[in-house]
Each structure stands twice: as structure tokens, then as C-alpha cells.
Structure 1
Amino acid sequence: MNSIESAKYRKHLEEDGVPPQQAVAHADALGEVLENLKETLATKAWVESFVKQQLQELKFDMVQWMVTLFVAQTGVTIGAMVALIRYLPR
């Protein structure tokens, strides 16, 4: 929290009946918490890169499943055709 916001917050607390020393302590403590949050919160760039990575992994998994199911379906179809040719009367 910058100094202008801190002073505004402190003034607001004092107007609501908080003693000046406590208002200063509250404003300083809140400023420290907000500064620490800036360091630990996810940034837009981080979220975008994380989402992009997850989508790439998902696409790879989807293609892998599609190829696997295509091969299995082809095997079942060929097996059914062989069974029909083998067991149908000529």
C-alpha cells in the first residue's frame, strides 16, 4: 500500500474513532500484508503460461487417446470382418 493510500486509510480509521497510534499501526500492518501478497499472488503472465502448459498437456492426452481408440476400433473392425468371412457359408 503506497503512502497516499496508507494516509487515507489511517485518516478513515481516525474518523471512525480509532486512536491515532492504533490507526498508524493498523495502516502499517496492512501495508506490510499487502506488499507480501504482491509477492505471493499469481500474476497474469504466470496464469497464462500455466494455462497454456495445461492445455498443451491436455491436447497431447486427447490425441493419444484418439490414436489408441482408432487403433482399437480398427482392430475390432478387422476382426469382425475376418470372422464374417471365415464363418459365413460360401
Structure 2
Amino acid sequence: MNAIETIKYRKRLEEGGVPPAQALAHADALAEVLEELPTKDWVRAEISRQLQDLKIDLLKWMFAMFIAQTGVTIGTVIALIRYLPH
């Protein structure tokens, strides 16, 4: 919340019957809270980073499952060749 918006907010409170000192305290407190809120850019960057991490984890699992499936397939073929009558 920039200084102009703080002044507008304070004046609006004063017009509504809030004492000036209390209106100033409210405006300052609101400005502090709004400064700590994340921006759209930060949220987008954080979501993008988490999606990138998720993609990497997904690729790791896919590769591991591919290796496991290949091992099971090779084992099955060897077992069929060995134990089926010729």
C-alpha cells in the first residue's frame, strides 16, 4: 500500500467518525500487512518452481518403473524359456 493510498484510507476513516490518531494507526497497520503479502509474480515463480520439481520427480519415477518393468519382462521370458517343455 503506497503513501497516497494510506492517506486516502486514513481520511476515509476520519470521515466515518474514527479519531485521527486511531485512523492513522489503522492505516499504518494495514500498510504493514499489505507489504508482507506475496505478489502475483512471486506466486507465479513459486508455482513454476514447484511444477519443475514435480516434473523432475515424475521423470525419476517413470525411469525407475521402466527399469523395473524391463527386469520383470526379461525374468518372465527367461522363466518361460527355461521351464516350458521344448
| Both structures adopt the same fold (TM-score exceeding 0.5) | yes
Find the partner of 2:6 among 2, 12, 20.
2
Identity over aligned pairs, percent: 43
Q: Which runs of 5 or more structure 2 residues have no equivalent in the other structure?
A: none
* Aligned twin of 1:59: 55
Structure 1: stretches of 5+ with no match in the other structure: none
Write the deviation string for residues 42-79 of structure 1: whole angstroms up to 9, x where unpaired: 11111000000000000000011011001101100110
Q: Tell me the TM-score normalized by structure 2.
A: 0.87
Amino acid at match of 2:51: L
| 1:72 match: secondary structure | helix
Q: Which residue of 2 aligns with 1:81?
A: 77
Alpha-carbon deviation of 1:25? Answer: 2.1
Q: Which residue is 1:27 aligned to? A: 23
Runs of 4+ in 1 over 3 A off after TM superposition: none
Normalized against structure 1, the TM-score is what? 0.83
